[in-house]
Amino acid sequence: MHPNISKWWQTIKISWSKTLTYRVNFLMQIIGPALVFFFIKYNLWNSIYAGDESTVIAGYRFPEMITYHVWTLVVGLVGISNNSAGISEEIRLGKISSYLIYPFNFWEFHTASFLAFEVIQYLVASITLVILFYIGVLPDVSALHTVLGFIFCFFVACFWFSMQFIVGLIAFWLNETWSIRIILITLTSFLSGYLIPLELYPSWLTDILAYTPFPYLSFYPVKIFMGDTTHFFSGLAILIGWSFVSFFVGSLIFKKGVRLYTAAGM
Partner 1 sequence: MCPISINMIETKKLRKSFKSFKKEPGVMGSVKSLFHREYITKNAVEDFDLSIETGEMVALLGPNGAGKTTLMKMFTGIIVPSDGEVLVAGHKPFLREKQFRKKVAIVMGQKSQLWWDLPAMDSFLLLQKYYEIPPKAFKKRLDLMNDILRVGDLLHVHMRKMSLGERMKMELIASLLHAPEVIFLDEPTIGLDVMAQENIRKFIHDYHAENKVTVVLTSHYMADVQALCKRLVLIFNGMKGFDGPIEKFEKILGHEKILSITSSEAIDLDHPLLANYSPTFSNKFRTVELKIPEDQLSEIGAQILQQLPIIDFSTEKLPIERVMKTLVECPDILLKDRSAP
Residues that bind partner 1 (CB under 8 A): 3, 6-7, 9-11, 14, 17-18, 21-22, 94, 97-98, 100-105, 258-259, 261-263, 265-266
Q: What is the DSSP letter of 142?
A: -
Q: What is the identity of the amino acid at 168?
A: G
Closest CB to partner 1 among residues 24, 144? 24
Closest CB to partner 1 among residues 6, 43? 6
CB of residue 163 vs partner 1: minimum separation in angstroms?
25
CB of residue 30 vs partner 1: minimum separation in angstroms?
19
- CB atoms under 10 Å from CB of 196, counted, come to 20
Contact 68, 222 (CB under 8 A): yes
CB of residue 13 vs partner 1: minimum separation in angstroms?
9
- SS3 string, 173-209, reads CCCCCHHHHHHHHHHHHHHCCCCCCHHHCCHHHHHHH
Closest CB to partner 1 among residues 34, 258? 258
Closest CB to partner 1 among residues 8, 68? 8
CB of residue 93 vs partner 1: minimum separation in angstroms?
9
Which residues, in sequence order, are bridge partners of residue 60? 57
Q: What is the identity of the amino acid at 143?
A: A
CB of residue 262 vs partner 1: minimum separation in angstroms?
6
Closest CB to partner 1 among residues 97, 206? 97
Closest CB to partner 1 among residues 202, 265? 265
Exposure letters 109-140 (e unless 16+ CB within 10 A, then b): bbbbbbbbbbebbbebbeebbeebeeeebbee
CB of residue 261 vs partner 1: minimum separation in angstroms?
6
CA nearest to 221, candidates 131, 125, 102? 125
